[in-house]
Amino acid sequence: MAAASGGKMLGVGRAMDLGELVEHWTVLEDEHALVSGKRGATRIGFAMLLKFYIGHGRFADGVADLPGEAVKFVARQIGCEPWELDAYEWSGRTIEYHRSQIREHLGFRECSVQDADDLIAWLAADVCQVERRPERVRELMLARCRAVCINPPARGRIDRIVRSALHQGELALPAALLEGSPRIRRPGFAR
């Protein structure tokens, strides 16, 4: 099972209808099995991390990322109280273990140094010569991570990857223009 391409935060900052809750926040049978051995705050915290990751392709940074309606909806399904999420630790060994379990369950791996280098090379060659907006390059990088089952790196590392790729793409742009790269077309010069 791969994480869905989200783009938008599912329900964050607005009211969610029942259809959205059912579609994006229903705890499936195999997910219940993962949650079943956990109690209290770790149970609801794990379940919310899992459902958020599936919907967004990344882990929630904290409770502020999670829509209140979704917390209530998931809590009812797994036999917890929504307020128990307040006691969940958003840093430390427990959440790292939970993230590891979720990655393993979904077939994802952490972003290695080689993965980051590969992302930079791909972005510089295939994206940054035609797309110069950092926020759009970031979106495309996150989509690529989902497509190749890599857990996106931390935000600071994402920013460094995007900046590096934009810089490398900028350096390669003049040569690509001279070569007449099919990805790059100068205005007024048809091939």
- pLDDT tens digits along 50-109: 999 999 888 999 999 999 999 999 999 999 999 999 999 999 999 999 999 999 999 999
End-of-domain residue from the set 106, 123, 148:
106
Do 35 and 102 share a domain, yes or no?
A: yes
What's the chain's average pLDDT? 88
Are residues 87 and 35 both part of a single domain? Answer: yes
pLDDT digits (tens, 9 = 90+) for 127-154: 998 899 999 999 999 999 999 999 999 8
Q: Which of 106, 135, 162 is the last residue of a domain?
A: 106
% of the chain surpassing 90 pLDDT:
75
Domain boundary among 106, 132, 154: 106
Distance CA 121, CA 118 (A): 5
Q: Is the pLDDT of residue 116 over 60?
A: yes
- Percentage of the chain beyond pLDDT 70 is 84
Q: How far apart are CA 110 and CA 66, in angstroms?
A: 22
Distance CA 134, CA 50 (A): 28
For 89, the domain range is 18-106
My answer on whether 174 and 123 are in the same domain is yes
* DSSP secondary structure code for residue 13 in this structure: T
* Beta carbons of 111 and 150 less than 8 angstroms apart: yes
